[in-house]
């Protein structure tokens, strides 16, 4: 089944404790992206990747890191999480930039 | 600055009604996307448009590139259509996506 998977789905953590949210797709998509969704602000792009080893900042990259070592995986790293990073996070992929996106199920992160 | 504006923000309709959700954008685009998010969070792509009109079942999406405007129509609305509908654009310069803040639709039986 074609899908985008994210783990964990729910995470409660404390300020400053490094964490990684994994994202994997099995559709051989070139483009992958991370978004956060906050009430009243909608979806905002954090980082995206056009292909392996090619990543670029979206609108809200501060406090986040990404890597794209393999085509299928695009983990999101929070080196020192802060409460303002409490949000619902989505990973998505598509065949090309601008193409139809397939979204993961979301990761609800709470930073206390 | 918000590249994508949606209206209305909230919409309540009676079952069977014809529904229209509007999206305006301010940048040149390569494509416009309509997404659906049901309570519980999952997001699915409904349409990707670069011109004209597309239809899928009771859903119709149109786009006017010159006016930078798109509409999503739902005919014969049903309670299962209750969801948040999100408009997104892929600019024709750069590789980012920009999203509207969504329209929350509730269809009452």
Nearest Cα neighbor of A79 from A98, A65, A93 is: A65
Distance CA B72, CA B105 (A): 12
Inter-chain CB proximity B101 and A42 less than 8 Å = yes
For residue A31, the distance in angstroms to the closest alpha carbon of chain B comes to 9
Token output for B30: 């390569």
Give pLDDT, residue A53. 87
Measure the CA–CA gap between A72 and A19, rounded to whole angstroms.
Answer: 20
Contact B97 A103 (CB under 8 A): no
Residues of A in contact with B88 (CB under 8 A): 43
Residue B95 pLDDT class (50, 70, 90 cuts): confident
What is the CB neighbour count within 10 angstroms for residue B61? 23
Cβ–Cβ gap A101/B96 under 8 Å:
no
Q: What is the DSSP letter of A73?
A: B
- The average pLDDT across A42-50 equals 96
Structure tokens at A48: 């995206």
Q: Is residue A102 within 8 Å of residue A92, measured between CB atoms?
A: yes
Q: How confident is the model at residue B94 (pLDDT cuts 50, 70, 90)?
A: confident
Q: What pLDDT, on a 0 to 100 scale, did the predictor assign at position B1?
A: 60
CB B30 within 8 A of CB B91: yes
Report in angstroms the alpha-carbon separations of B76 from B17, B54, B57, B90, B109.
5, 17, 11, 30, 12
Cβ contacts of A41 on chain B, cutoff 8 Å: 101
Give every CB contact of residue B20 below 8 A, 6+ residues apart in sequence. B71, B72, B73
Question: What is the per-residue pLDDT across A59-101, written as a single tens digit (0 to 9) for each?
Answer: 999 999 999 999 999 999 999 999 999 999 999 999 998 899 9
DSSP structure string for B9-43: SEEEEETT--EEEEEEE-S-EEEEEEEEE-TT--E
């Amino acid at each position: 089944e074609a899908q985008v998977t994210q783990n964990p789905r729910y995470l409660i953590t404390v300020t400053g404790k490094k964490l990684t949210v994994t994202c994997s797709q099995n559709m051989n998509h070139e483009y992958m992206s991370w978004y956060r969704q906050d009430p009243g602000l909608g979806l905002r792009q954090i980082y995206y990747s056009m292909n392996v080893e090619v990543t670029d900042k979206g609108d809200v990259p501060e406090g986040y890191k990404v890597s794209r070592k393999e085509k299928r995986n695009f983990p999101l790293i929070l080196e020192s999480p802060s409460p303002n990073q409490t949000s619902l996070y989505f990973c998505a992929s598509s065949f090309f930039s601008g193409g139809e996106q397939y979204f993961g199920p979301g990761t609800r992160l709470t930073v206390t | 600055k918000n590249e994508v504006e949606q209206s209305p923000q909230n919409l309540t309709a009676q079952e069977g009604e014809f529904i229209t959700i509007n999206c305006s954008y301010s940048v040149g685009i390569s494509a416009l996307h309509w997404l659906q998010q049901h309570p519980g969070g999952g997001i699915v792509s409904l349409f990707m448009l670069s011109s004209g009109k597309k239809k899928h079942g009771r859903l119709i999406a149109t786009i006017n590139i010159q006016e930078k405007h798109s509409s999503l129509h739902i005919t014969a609305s049903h309670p299962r259509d209750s969801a948040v509908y999100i408009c997104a654009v892929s600019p024709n310069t750069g590789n980012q996506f920009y999203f509207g803040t969504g329209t929350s639709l509730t269809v009452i039986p």
